[in-house]
């Protein structure tokens, strides 16, 4: 159901949002730009279009021109797209050109390294934001995201991140049960993302260092944050959510057991982290990307009166008060439904910037503990000045940072 702008402005909750909710164009349209037109970016386009009849895709940007053209071609027959050659942009400055277009909201789906700069620029431009997880690869990036999230709140800009479990019915119902005391006091938790290899892009003779690393971005820490940050953040975020905040410290280990060649960049292929939270609550975190091993993607929260187990589409509590839940809408669409409701005023105001930054930082802290072989406190980790990646972006030579060796 669509709502008129008059209906929006008649509600008290929307009164504060009104100056920022829409530009001067049609009152029942939310115009969306997309920065990052790879697999996740194009997937987010369709998730966004499925979320509301109000959505229009108006601008596309990516470093690589063929990705922009591919995304534009897929939208040729989409009646809710007004993308034209004049609103498709490529290059490292494409994000600036998209944000300069006439739009209300932007989807940020580039490799995570670029998220802090793009998010800050979107907020400065007065745009509502959907940004994929994670939102940074290092502590300076996390701090920049937290600052931009605070500015978004001041401007009443809505912000939703791609940690879709926060919008998935089995998780929402499960956390509600935990908060209502069904499992008693939380004493410990575990989380897993163990699977085989993902995709990889082989280098060609025409690729510069920078181009190859960006096309093969999963395997370079400066671009992805390593798989504990890029992928395992989902499960770590659930633990932070259930416990009520990020941990005090991390002691981790990991390494490169199978993916040892240069084609795999400089990331690890497995991690095991012991996170310590307030009240002596401990969380064990496990992630692995190695073929031929058992797989598991799940979370387990242990309380004094029961245990919650979640694994995507279902949540089960065993113990003194058994409970279970299964079903709900596609969470990749639901997160856009919730964002559009926040923008339009038909739902609660959402700004997930700080909490996804904290979960990103939790994963970074685990990674850095494993890389170094040292225990790290939250204060040490989040206040680090270590920045990953080049200072300036251009296609050309870019040395690969050596693989971390714990204890060295």
pLDDT in tens, 322-360: 999 999 999 999 999 999 999 999 999 999 999 999 999
From 167, 125, 164, 122, select the one nearest 145 (Cα to Cα): 122
* pLDDT value of residue 302: 98
Using pLDDT thresholds of 50, 70 and 90, give the confidence band for residue 27. low
pLDDT tens readout for residues 241-272:
999 999 999 999 999 999 999 999 999 999 99
Q: In the predicted model, is pLDDT for residue 202 greater than 60?
A: yes
Domains of the chain: 5-165+335-352 (3.40.50.720), 169-329+358-382 (3.30.360.10)
Q: In the predicted model, is pLDDT for residue 26 greater than 80?
A: no
Q: In the predicted model, is pLDDT for residue 13 greater than 80?
A: no
What SS3 class is residue 268? coil
Over residues 133-146, the mean pLDDT reads 98
* Per-residue DSSP letter, 280: G
Average pLDDT, the chain: 93
Residue 338 phi, psi dihedral angles, 5° rounding: -70, -35
Q: In the predicted model, is pLDDT for residue 24 greater than 90?
A: no
Using pLDDT thresholds of 50, 70 and 90, give the confidence band for residue 312. confident
Q: What percent of the chain has pLDDT over 90?
A: 92
Using pLDDT thresholds of 50, 70 and 90, give the confidence band for residue 135. very high
Q: Measured between alpha carbons, how far is 131 from 114 in angstroms, rounded to an integer?
A: 11
CA distances from 160 to 22, 49, 73, 115, 165 (A): 17, 16, 27, 13, 12
- Cβ distance 243 to 187 under 8 Å? no
Q: What percent of the chain has pLDDT over 70?
A: 93
* pLDDT value of residue 28: 83
Q: In the predicted model, is pLDDT for residue 224 greater than 80?
A: yes
Least confident of 9-23, 32-46, 178-192, 207-221: 9-23
* pLDDT value of residue 220: 98
Q: In the predicted model, is pLDDT for residue 88 greater than 70?
A: yes
Over residues 103-128, the mean pLDDT reads 98
Q: In the predicted model, is pLDDT for residue 385 greater than 70?
A: yes
Q: In the predicted model, is pLDDT for residue 66 greater than 80?
A: yes
Biggest CA-to-CA distance, the chain: 63
Q: In the predicted model, is pLDDT for residue 25 greater than 60?
A: no
* pLDDT value of residue 4: 31
372: part of which helix (H) or strand (E)?
helix 353-372
* pLDDT value of residue 1: 30
Over residues 111-140, the mean pLDDT reads 98
Q: Exposure string (b/e) for 32-63, b if CB count within 10 Å is 16 or more?
A: bbbbbbbebbbebbbbbbbbbebbbbbbbbbb
- Cβ distance 193 to 349 under 8 Å? no
Q: Measured between alpha carbons, how far is 197 from 259 in angstroms, rounded to an integer?
A: 9
Over residues 44-67, the mean pLDDT reads 97
Does the predicted TM-score (pTM) go above 0.85? Answer: yes
Q: Measured between alpha carbons, how far is 35 from 90 in angstroms, rounded to an integer?
A: 10
């Amino acid at each position: 159901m669509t709502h008129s702008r008059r209906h929006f402005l008649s509600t008290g909750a929307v009164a504060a949002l009104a100056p920022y909710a829409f530009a001067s164009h049609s009152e029942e349209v939310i115009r969306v730009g997309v920065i990052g037109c790879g697999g996740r970016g194009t997937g987010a386009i369709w998730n966004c279009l499925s979320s509301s009849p109000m959505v229009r895709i108006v601008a596309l940007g990516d470093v690589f021109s063929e990705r922009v053209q591919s995304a534009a071609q897929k939208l040729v027959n989409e009646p809710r797209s007004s993308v034209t050659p004049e609103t498709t942009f490529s290059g490292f400055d494409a994000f600036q050109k998209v944000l300069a277009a006439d739009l209300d909201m932007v989807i940020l789906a580039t490799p995570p390294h670029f998220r802090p700069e793009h998010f800050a620029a979107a907020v400065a431009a007065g745009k509502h934001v959907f940004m994929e997880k994670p939102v940074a690869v290092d502590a300076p990036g996390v701090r920049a995201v937290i600052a931009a999230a605070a500015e978004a709140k001041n401007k009443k800009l809505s912000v939703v991140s791609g940690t879709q479990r926060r919008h998935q019915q089995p998780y929402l119902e499960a956390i509600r049960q935990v908060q209502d005391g069904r499992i008693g006091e939380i004493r410990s938790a575990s989380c897993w993302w163990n699977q085989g290899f993902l995709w990889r892009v082989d280098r060609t003779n025409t690729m510069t260092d920078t181009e190859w690393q960006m096309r093969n971005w999963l395997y370079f820490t400066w671009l992805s944050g390593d798989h504990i940050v890029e992928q395992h953040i989902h499960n770590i975020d659930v633990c932070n959510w259930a416990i009520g905040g990020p941990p005090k410290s991390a002691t981790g280990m990991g390494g490169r057991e199978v993916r040892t060649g240069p084609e795999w960049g400089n990331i690890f292929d497995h991690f095991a982290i012991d996170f310590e939270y307030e009240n002596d609550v401990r969380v064990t975190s496990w992630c692995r990307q190695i073929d031929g091993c058992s797989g598991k993607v799940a979370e387990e929260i242990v309380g004094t009166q029961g245990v919650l187990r979640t694994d995507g589409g279902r949540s089960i509590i065993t113990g003194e008060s058994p409970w279970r839940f299964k079903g709900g809408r596609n969470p990749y669409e639901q997160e856009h439904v919730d964002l559009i409701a926040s923008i339009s005023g038909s739902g609660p105001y959402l700004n997930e910037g700080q909490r996804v930054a904290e979960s990103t930082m939790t994963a970074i802290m685990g990674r850095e503990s494993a890389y170094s072989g040292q225990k790290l406190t939250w204060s040490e980790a989040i206040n680090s000045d270590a920045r990953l990646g080049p200072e300036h972006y251009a296609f050309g030579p870019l040395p690969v940072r050596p693989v971390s060796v714990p204890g060295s």
